[in-house]
Amino acid sequence: MPDRTPSSWYTAVSGCVRCGRDGTAFELMRGMREHGVPLSGFALASLVTACERRRGGHGRDEGLACGAAIHALTHRAGLMGNVYIATALLHMYGSCGVVFDAQRLFWEMPERNVVSWTALMVALSSNGYLEEALVAYRQMRKEGVMCNANAFATVVSLCGSLQNEVPGLQVASHVIVSGLQNQVSVANSLITMFGNMGRVQDAERLFDRMEEHDTISWNAIISIWLKEKNEVSTFGIGDRGHKYAEKIYAKLDEILPKLKEVGYAADTSSALHDTDEEQNEQNLWNHCEKLALAYGLIVVPEGSTIRIFKNLRETQVKRRNNEKKTATKMKKN
């Protein structure tokens, strides 16, 4: 080109990075400085991406050194107020595991947008600082920054790794209020989170309501089904130690009236004689086999077979659409 404008230089640098020609991009940057072309946040942010790639091919230290050099250059050019280059640097520090530098850079930024907040949450959560990432999410909401799909997908994903499901359910409610639950990336993260929590039905309902599914959607729901299908759970009489105990007893309360409608009656003839009939029936209803059956009705897909083992006996239960039609077949091994 006989006449190169600053914009043409910036576009050439960015284009080389997008095409993976990082070496050429750095050569162009040197050419810009030799010709007195002013630096731009757009071009520097592109070079930070190239530095991150060096982390993968040449080791973390080289990628970090490259990014730190761009950071210093940005400071000298007086461009640290540019939210795009600052966010790119923040992401780079997080990718290199330098969480302290990422946090310090974030709080020094004169301007922060949802992309900056998301980069901070990614830097924290990807390095194991899940609670701190959740604190950042709450601070973002407190400052009135609206989440986009990427931000919600990030925070939902980190909530799925927490031991406490309450924050995840709170974030899920925020997603619904925002109307972004139909965004594929957000829905995928929610399905995975529900699966990690053991909320299989919530995951299935969300999956069924999605307007479109991608490979991640299918992998997420299939992994949940396989996990539940291959799980072996044990129950004792009146057992309340299972992780889904509350749901199991709620399911028992739900199906008992339905079974009575079709003639079910508990056989209390061999029950204890020092308790009343109603208590004997309740004790039998909380029998370990019935607890196992209720659990199966919660987690096993319709049309599948539930197998319940007790001592030398196996119970096979066909999971039907209507619990009124649930039938059991007893057979000896």
What pLDDT, in 10s, does the model give residues 107-118?
999 889 999 999
The DSSP-derived string for 62-122 is HHHHHHHHHHHHHHHTT-TT-HHHHHHHHHHHHHTT-HHHHHHHHHH-S---HHHHHHHHH
Give CATH for domain 1-131.
Answer: 1.25.40.10
Judged by average pLDDT, the poorest of 143-152, 186-195, 250-259 is: 250-259
pLDDT confidence bin for 206, thresholds 50/70/90: very high
What per-residue string of b and e applies to 137-174 under the rule 16 or more CB within 10 Å gives b? beebeeeebebbbbbbbbbbbbbbebeebebbeebbee
pLDDT of residue 257: 81
pLDDT confidence bin for 143, thresholds 50/70/90: very high
Average pLDDT, the chain: 80
Burial of 213 (0-12, 13-18, 19+ CB in 10 A): middle
Are 94 and 122 contacting, i.e. CB atoms less than 8 angstroms apart? yes
pTM, entire model: 0.66
Chain centroid to CA 20: how far?
30
Taking the C-alpha atoms of residue 140 and residue 113, their distance in angstroms, rounded to an integer, is: 9
163 against 237, higher pLDDT? 163
